[in-house]
Structure 1
Amino acid sequence: MTALIDRVPALLGRARALLGLPPGPPDRLAPSELRRAAQAASALHEGLVGRRALAHRRTYDDAAHLGAYLLWWWPQTYAKVQAVLALARSAGTLLAIPARPRTLDVGAGPAPAALALLDALGGSALALDASAAALSEARALSGGAVGTRQADLGEGLPRLDGEFDLVVVANALSELPPGSRAALIDALPLAQGGAVLLVEPALRETGRALLEVRNELLRSGRWSAAAPCLTQRPCPALEHPRDWCTALHPWQAPPHVVQLAAELGLRADEALAYAPLVLVRSVAPPPRDVWRVVGVPRPEKGKKRLFVCSDQGRVPVGRLDRDAVPTNADFDRLERGDLVLLGGVARKGDGLRVGRESEVRLLEGGERAQTPTPSAEPR
């Protein structure tokens, strides 16, 4: 199976050509080219994450921006999409996906999302984007395995042949006008039993925008949130203007990303942060006592406190150190993003209290290394 590290030589080769850099090592940047590469990555990073002046569909018609994307954002997006795929799998939403699925990558750019899914699942993939230059890189990087079609999403989806088992929209939804985002998802040609994987930057603006789209789609009754949500009600994070939900998980960054992160003074080589959402047409309700851990505050003297979310809302849950017993020992192991069964907990003020008679059972400990860990940003 092809992995991200196998894609790096082609990424570096194409990026060097776009940035006008000489040939170099196949797995990392040479010292002589690191500064120029970092300057290009910094300009794109500021344009996408800082002022977001480059968060539009024509950015990658500029060769320098496209080359910087291949170096910096392409590997990160690839890893994020595979993490959201693992989240969807752990939620049981891929059971009806065929052995060789058809994948549609909407707003694909040079198609890191499409290749992430092809490498993980096989099948076929079609990438849609407004930039002919970005789609040319998608074809080059995939060796022709990814089909491409130029399309301006601002004008809606083009007519497509047949349905798709997986649709991925990575870092593109927030670039559309707010009023057209839910309509785009509604128009997706999703096959029966298929899933839509959404990934957005882990910014307050984009994270809250994704949750607003989620709420709009769920109100229509045509969609269900499969992950990371455990509720089909309006997202409780939107009740407070300073809250939003993101995912955070460690990853093994390619050597050249480690080099760029060090040069830029960033920590993207240590952990990936983004806002994920998996949508399906219908989903079974989770058991009542199952919660998602969405926040882990700093330790407090004499007790431990977490924030959990389910169909019952987003609430704090605490346990006094003196109430720690073997049946609730998993409380000490919980991390953001874990699914946990909380049995026999008592209501205490606006939250829950784990006592000596309570059962705490971690349900997804084996998924931590692969799946994103949703976390509500603190107020």
Structure 2
Amino acid sequence: MGKKDATLPETQTTQSLTALIEGLLVDEHILPAQRGLARNVGDLSDFFNRLKKPLPTSGKEHLYMSDPDLRAAYLAYFFPVNCVKTFLLLRRIASEGFLPPMSPTTPKTSTPPTTTATPWRILDFGCGPGSAALGAAFYLESHLNPHSAVAELYLVDQSATVLETAVRLLERSDLPLQIHAASRIPQEMDFDLILAFNVLNENTVEESQRIFTLLKNRLSPTGRLLVAEPALRETARRLIELRDQLLTDPDVALLWPCCHCANCQGILAENDWCHGTEVWERPDWIAQIDREIGSKKERLNYAALLYATKDSAGTASASGTNITSDTTWRVVSDPIIERGKRLLYLCGGPTGERIRATALERHLSEKNRDFFAARRYDLLRIEGTLEKKGDGFRLSPETTATLMRS
């Protein structure tokens, strides 16, 4: 990939990220798409969505990363999807105030700084080909001075094949990274951000708990641990069950997305689960693959949890949006438009209850306008009257609804 300007635009977009990824895939001779690529993507999608038995493995190697055709399919489709998902997820979390401050805080300029910023130290555990690492590095690059390293990036995976791929892709990204790769986490080192994406669902419950303990013990005093899993019913419910078990953990606190510290009511019914979603503009090659396999990857879904050490959790709540307030709710459904009204399912309150909230279109006002703009996983602060109506609640024109973003 040709060398690009070291300073990316101040406003990062998914389009600029997908353009970067497209260049990497051209260098890998994966794009333009070859015959049979979409069919292989469809086969991988069926495996990942549990529609077929799990893909076979050989020791430490996932065979789909060793097979040239399946590897190309994974990199062409799932790599960009997971990379952009990481970028958008971090952007959402940061907009609500739950990432620690980064140094320096001054805007980017063309003039070299008088002091060098201390780069973040990031661990991507079970990194695969580096999609989460690239998404995180791309996000952080927009918040740090361009003359300093974005991050000391530590890639950990048991597969030598995927580690080699991850290092090559990240080096070719031209982001100013310090890249380290290994099969184990370096000894006696802590991290400002730990990513564990699509890792726990590949292990037993007991092994998942062991991995979580391993990772939480490597957090820096102000570090964050972001765990994300596929938004399938089975994998999301397993993550929520782990969340409930960790409520009494003496070392870490759950920062995001939950507005409460009670057991999750989202898995009380057998077919229920909770997940977030982000909308993106698909690049042309993803849209073409979608057309060929009958998919529509216009939304990027995830089940995710963000943790911090107990000592730093109070600071995060103070600088963030104080989501423990009983007036603050997480939107846990897509908007439901019924005749003359808008309906949202909300989760929050001191007991973590889920409520059905509606607002009549004729009651739209300046005070409650944000209720009509809210989407899945937005934070809403609701103040004023919530009138009990049947099995739910209704906002009045005088009820104040505010989207919570920093």
Name the counterpart of 2:304: 276
Name the counterpart of 1:29: 32
Q: CA deviation at 1:63?
A: 3.3
Output the CA distance in 2 between the equivalents of 1:316 and 1:204: 21
Name the counterpart of 1:316: 356
Tell whether 2:134 aligns with 1:115. Answer: yes
Q: CA deviation at 1:358?
A: 1.8
Output the CA distance in 2 between the equivalents of 1:126 and 1:293: 34
Name the counterpart of 2:38: 38
Output the CA distance in 2 between the equivalents of 1:298 and 1:316: 11
- Aligned CA RMSD, in angstroms, stands at 2.3
Q: CA deviation at 1:356?
A: 3.5
Which of residues 328, 338, 346 is equivalent to 1:300? 338
Q: CA deviation at 1:360?
A: 1.9
Q: CA deviation at 1:314?
A: 1.3
Mapping 1:11-160, distance limit 5 Å: 11-14=25-28, 16=30, 28-29=31-32, 33=34, 35-49=35-49, 50-51=51-52, 53-54=54-55, 58-59=61-62, 60-98=65-103, 100-121=119-140, 122-143=150-171, 145=177, 146-151=179-184, 158-160=185-187
Return closer, same or farther for 1:64/1:161 CA change in 2, 3 Å cut-off: farther
Q: Secondary structure at the match of 1:267?
A: coil
Q: CA deviation at 1:55?
A: 8.3
Return closer, same or farther for 1:69/1:353 CA change in 2, 3 Å cut-off: same
What is the TM-score normalised by the length of structure 2? 0.78
Output the CA distance in 2 between the equivalents of 1:251 and 1:7: 15
Q: Which amino acid aligns with 2:54?
A: A
What is the TM-score normalised by the length of structure 1? 0.83
Query: For residues 45-76 of structure 1, what are the alpha-carbon distances to aligned partners after superposition, in whole Å with 9 as ceiling and x for unaligned?
Result: 11212335128663223333322211111001
Output the CA distance in 2 between the equivalents of 1:130 and 1:296: 38
Q: Which amino acid aligns with 2:198?
A: N
Q: Secondary structure at the match of 2:36?
A: helix
Q: CA deviation at 1:15?
A: 5.6
Alpha-carbon contact 2:341-2:360 (below 8 Å) kept: yes
Q: Which amino acid aligns with 2:331?
A: V
Which of residues 2, 17, 24 is equivalent to 1:3? 17
More deviation in 168-177 or 52-61? 52-61
Q: CA deviation at 1:161?
A: 4.0
Tell whether 2:395 aligns with 1:354. Answer: yes
Name the counterpart of 1:186: 213
Return closer, same or farther for 1:143/1:331 CA change in 2, 3 Å cut-off: closer
Q: CA deviation at 1:88?
A: 2.2
Mapping 1:205-224, distance limit 5 Å: 205-224=234-253
Unaligned ranges ≥5, structure 2:
1-7, 9-15, 104-117, 141-149
Which of residues 270, 280, 283 is equivalent to 1:254? 283
Alpha-carbon contact 1:171-1:199 (below 8 Å) kept: yes
Name the counterpart of 1:372: none
Identity %: 28
Query: For residues 175-215 of structure 1, what are the alpha-carbon distances to aligned partners after superposition, in whole Å with 9 as ceiling and x for unaligned?
Result: 01111212212211111111111221110011111111111
Query: For residues 291-320 of structure 1, what are the alpha-carbon distances to aligned partners after superposition, in whole Å with 9 as ceiling and x for unaligned?
Result: 111114532234332111113411111223
Q: Secondary structure at the match of 2:81?
A: helix
Q: CA deviation at 1:96?
A: 4.1
Output the CA distance in 2 between the equivalents of 1:141 and 1:318: 47
More deviation in 214-223 or 54-63? 54-63
Alpha-carbon contact 2:266-2:272 (below 8 Å) kept: yes
Alpha-carbon contact 1:88-1:94 (below 8 Å) kept: yes
Output the CA distance in 1 between the equivalents of 2:182 and 2:29: 22
Alpha-carbon contact 2:17-2:84 (below 8 Å) kept: no
Query: For residues 211-269 of structure 1, what are the alpha-carbon distances to aligned partners after superposition, in whole Å with 9 as ceiling and x for unaligned?
Result: 1111122222322222221112111202222111112221133322222112111111x
Q: CA deviation at 1:354?
A: 1.1
Q: Secondary structure at the match of 2:336?
A: coil
Q: Secondary structure at the match of 1:126?
A: strand
Q: CA deviation at 1:347?
A: 5.0
Query: For residues 133-164 of structure 1, what are the alpha-carbon distances to aligned partners after superposition, in whole Å with 9 as ceiling and x for unaligned?
Result: 1111111112285321125xxxxxx5534111
Output the CA distance in 1 between the equivalents of 2:347 and 2:233: 19
Return closer, same or farther for 1:340/1:116 CA change in 2, 3 Å cut-off: same
